[in-house]
Amino acid sequence: MDEGYRDRSAFIKGAKDIAKEVKRQAGKKVGRHVDRMADEYTKRSYTRFEEDDDDDYPVQAQDGSYYRSNSRANDDDDAAHSDSTEGHDEDDEIYEGEYQGIPRQDSSAGKADGQAAGAARVQQRDLAQYEGERRKDQEELAQQYETILQECGHGRFQWTLYFVLGLALMADGVEIFVVGFVLPSAEKDMCLSEPNKGMLGLIVYLGMMVGAFVWGGLADRIGRRQTLLISLSINSVFAFFSSFVQGYSSFLFCRLLSGVGIGGSIPIVFSYYSEFLAQEKRGEHLSWLCMFWMIGGIYASAMAWAIIPHYGWSFQMGSAYQFHSWRVFVLVCAFPAVAAIAALNTMPESPRFYLENGKHDEAWMILKQVHDTNMRAKGYPERVFSVTNIKTVKQLDELVDMGDDTTAWHQRWKLKLINLFHQVWSNFLTVFNPEYRRVTYMMMAVWFSMSFSYYGLTVWFPDMIKYLQKQEYNSRTKVFIKQKVEHMTFNFTLENQIHRHGEYFNTKFLNLKMKSMVFEDSLFEECYFEDITSTNTFFKNCTFIATLFYNTDLFKYRLIDSRLINSTFLHNKEGCLLDFSDENNAYMIYFVSFLGTLAVLPGNIVSALLMDKIGRLRMLAGSSVISCVSCFFLSFGNSESAMIALLCLFGGISIASWNALDVLTVELYPSDKRTTAFGFLNALCKLAAVLGISIFQSFVGITKAVPILFASGALAAGSFLALKLPETRGQVLQ
């Protein structure tokens, strides 16, 4: 029995040895074939020894003799086993350390090039494979994530997040109105020239353009919540500083950085909120979120109405530091951003962002929090979150040089920032990949056309109203010609008058205000000006003889082509003083802005209720067409009331287009590119706004035809292109 057992064991051992040998021989043959194919592909060659008396490398010729050869055939044979390893047949293995010949210098260079090319091909193939796997993971995640959101339900958590993100969107709406409301006061407080006023009006859009691009790209890399907190913090800090700085340059700089901060609000808020909404709720509730932009405009209008025109909100520390009421208004307008920061600290990061970046456990905890919060609010605290495993997207292993332990901290931060910049930029370039290129170009055209017409007209309307007010004011101007005044005292307000070829002898102007006064070709002899406050007052081609100016703001720039003979200026008022004599006009401007913003409410409600019923494209194209038609009614706006009505009509109609465009932008791009694409398109929107405002303002008081044609043409083009975009209603969030 023992003998049989030994025979059986020997048989099994022999079979195993035979199998190992067969496997070894097969592996060697496959290896030789692979080596030959690799050599043929890269055209590598190796040298032979040149010694005449060495017969260790024989090659048989056709006549049967042997000779040395560097032919391609010989190279092919030697690629598998070198001739320099004498004593081995083709089935033997070459061991490490054996002599295998000396390659030529050009051969080694060719080998290096071939290896580099091969490595590049392998890397490209691996990257393509990684992208394919990642895309497949994203598709699976999108379907599973939609199912999870439906299980979590829509309830208290989403409504809480709605109000928190609404504050951030409200801060964006406030930022648009701040500079426009304070400009009439700030231009007097800072003695602004016309170019400076124009730059101050546009600087917020330039800042928001930069901010939208930067923060949108960062939100796809470091997270929606964290990026939004950083951007809102920058906005609130520099908005606070801008209310205290005195100089024009410093105020301009602070408003620029404030705009950069708030620029990230729109792209991040919509992307962030959409990732907590199930498909059947997404279009409607993103449209409801747009209402906070309107609330921001109402808040800014109401605060300006309540604060700016009143003396009681101002204080002064000497003549150097003046804190007027418009600065209080700027400070108050920073409150929504501060409130948004405080509230956002209580909310979690987007779980979709975590899943896209391979952080399964963090995402699961947040989704469980959403589920439990909603279930408790609905009275079902016993319901358990049934999801145990969620698909995560495959991550690319990246080797990043962060230095070693001896690297200084600032150098490590520099390396981190450079790496982050490369990641953001490469992610931005993927928006123009072939699969997204057509959509991106179409969206660029739609965003540009909408912004150009909307922002251009919304600024043109108030300017036209002010122009009509000015025309009506000028129609009441009183003109005095060749008036001769002697030994008289003026101690009452002089307003809206033109004096031509007048003569004033021994006349006193005491403790009065001059508003919109013009003296042309007039003579002032032995006159006395004391405690004069003026606005829009000029002396053109006048002569002053033995005249004294004491404690006035009649600076020499108000004396145009005038001659001063034996005249003196004493204790001139420093700087530019605020003039609140235009309180009625200020109230009108704030009231018009309030009405124009409030008129958006009906359009918001309609778009929210119909967004998921008629689809994004129909909403966008239909609203754009109606807005285009409404532009032609601008030709009938010949009065203040008519212009106000047209402003309300245009705002109420066009808001539906904006809501549809925001929802469409969120749904057209995958989660790892969503805020990047949204930020880029929003930056383009602000660039179009700057162009539209600049062009439309230049035609105020000249013609209405050009703004009408520009606005209607842009809206018509936008509505046509919108119909070429893919409809996203009913689709899961990519």
CB-CB contact of 85 with 98 (8 Å): yes
Average pLDDT over residues 718-734: 84
Task: Supply the pLDDT for residue 569.
Answer: 87
- Asked if pLDDT for residue 732 goes beyond 90, the answer is no
Alpha helices in 190-264 (DSSP H): 194-222, 224-242, 248-262
Task: Supply the pLDDT for residue 122.
Answer: 56
> pLDDT tens digits, residue range 98-111?
444 444 444 455 55
- Asked if pLDDT for residue 94 goes beyond 50, the answer is no
For 655, half-sphere exposure in the C-beta direction (CA atoms, 13 angstrom radius) is: 27
Tokens of 218: 């960062």
The SS3 call for residue 258 is helix
CA pair distance 610, 37, nearest whole angstrom? 64
Q: Would you say the C-alpha torsion 678, 276, 220, 234 has a positive or negative sign?
A: positive
Instruction: Give, in order, the Cα–Cα distances in Å from 271 to each of 30, 349, 425, 590.
Output: 53, 12, 19, 32
> pLDDT tens digits, residue range 666-705?
989 988 889 999 999 999 999 999 898 888 888 887 877 8
- Strand-pairing partners, residue 512, are 532
Which H or E element spans position 17? helix 2-42
Query: Which residue did the predictor score with more confidence, 130 or 140?
Result: 140
Query: Which residue did the predictor score with more confidence, 45 or 627?
Result: 627
Q: What percent of the chain has pLDDT over 90?
A: 21
Task: Supply the pLDDT for residue 544.
Answer: 93
The SS3 call for residue 53 is coil
Q: What percent of the chain has pLDDT over 70?
A: 76
183-197, 466-480, 552-566, 657-671: which range is least confident on average? 183-197
Place of tokens 């006395």: 528
28-42, 349-363, 671-685: which range is least confident on average? 28-42
- Asked if pLDDT for residue 160 goes beyond 90, the answer is yes
Task: Supply the pLDDT for residue 34.
Answer: 43
Maximum mean pLDDT: which of 75-79, 395-399, 462-466? 462-466
Angle between helices 72-80 and 2-42 (to 10 degrees): 150
DSSP secondary structure string for all residues of 434-494: HHHHHHHHHHHHHHHHHHHHHHHHHHHHHHHHHHHHHHHHHTT-EEEES-EEES-EE-S-E
- Strand-pairing partners, residue 495, are 515
> pLDDT tens digits, residue range 315-338?
665 555 667 778 888 889 999 999
**From the centroid of its chain, how far is CA 405?**
36
The SS3 call for residue 725 is coil
Q: How confident is the model at residue 524 (pLDDT cuts 50, 70, 90)?
A: very high
> pLDDT tens digits, residue range 265-284?
999 999 999 999 988 888 88
Chain-wide mean pLDDT for the chain?
Answer: 78
Place of tokens 């109000």: 163
Kindly report the pTM of this predicted structure: 0.74
Q: How confident is the model at residue 228 (pLDDT cuts 50, 70, 90)?
A: very high
Give backbone dihedrals phi and psi of 538, rounded to 5 degrees, phi first: -140, 150
DSSP secondary structure string for all residues of 374-424: HHHHTT-TT----------------------TTS-HHHHHHHHHHHHHHHH
Task: Supply the pLDDT for residue 402.
Answer: 54
- Asked if pLDDT for residue 519 goes beyond 90, the answer is yes
114-123, 318-327, 629-638: which range is least confident on average? 114-123
DSSP secondary structure string for all residues of 591-653: HHHHHHHHTHHHHHHHHHHHHHHH-HHHHHHHHHHHHHHHHGGGGG--SHHHHHHHHHHHHHH
Task: Supply the pLDDT for residue 120.
Answer: 57
> pLDDT tens digits, residue range 449-503?
999 988 888 888 777 777 887 888 888 889 999 889 998 989 888 888 999 999 9
What radius of gyration do the chain's Cα atoms show?
39
The SS3 call for residue 733 is coil
Q: How confident is the model at residue 237 (pLDDT cuts 50, 70, 90)?
A: very high
The SS3 call for residue 112 is helix
- Asked if pLDDT for residue 588 goes beyond 60, the answer is yes
Task: Supply the pLDDT for residue 12.
Answer: 61
Average pLDDT over residues 559-573: 86
> pLDDT tens digits, residue range 357-374?
888 888 889 999 998 898
50-64, 290-304, 525-539, 608-622: which range is least confident on average? 50-64
Task: Supply the pLDDT for residue 114.
Answer: 58
Q: How many CB atoms lie within 10 A of CB 565?
A: 10
42-46, 155-159, 703-707: which range is least confident on average? 42-46
CA pair distance 273, 56, nearest whole angstrom? 78
233-237, 498-502, 547-551, 594-598: which range is least confident on average? 594-598
